[in-house]
Amino acid sequence: MTGALIILAVTVLTGLILYLTHRPDSASANEGGSPALSGSHDSDGEECCGLHAVCEKGLSPTEGPVYFDDEELDRFAGRQPDSYTESEVEEFREVLYTLLPSDIYPWGASLTRRDIALPSSLRDEWLMLVNG
């Protein structure tokens, strides 16, 4: 019986510490690239744009596209992700794997601003590189 009470007390204490240090209303709740819900507030108390992961990476939603020596990809603007040929997918892959790790996420955001959809087969690779 005493052992069960000790385990219960340790569990409650651990839960209390975790609750106090990781409350959802604290600024740390939106760290790590997790997108905030539209209508929430950022750490300055201002209304969030709904693109919080983009804002945290230093890209303003109103900012124009940034080019990563990939102007040749502009010809794919407006294409569907499933409509690329293998050689076209390889063009995207070549650019992706020559980027610096810090440029991988901004490159994807820039493609979106330029109305260029990543090929479906490459999107998972891009996400893995962004998260890894």
List pLDDT tens digits, range 33-48: 433 333 444 445 555 5
Take residue 104 and report the two structure tokens written for it. 């991988």
Which of 50 and 109 is assigned the larger pLDDT? Answer: 109
In angstroms, the CA 82 to CA 101 distance is: 26
Using an 8 Å Cβ cutoff, are 30 and 52 in contact?
A: yes
pTM equals 0.52
Looking at the chain, the number of H-run helices and the number of E-run strands are 5, 0
Which amino acid, one-letter code, is at 113?
R
What pLDDT is recorded for position 87?
92
Greater confidence (3 vs 34) lies with: 3
Mean pLDDT of 110-118: 89
- Residues sharing a CB contact under 8 Å with residue 88, sequence separation 6 or more, in sequence order: 76, 119
* Closest by Cα among 109, 104, 106 to 126: 104
pLDDT of residue 33: 44
Contact 119, 127 (CB under 8 A): no
Q: How much is the pLDDT for 42?
A: 47
Q: How many CB atoms lie within 10 A of CB 19?
A: 10
Return the number of other C-beta atoms located less than 10 Å from residue 116's C-beta: 20
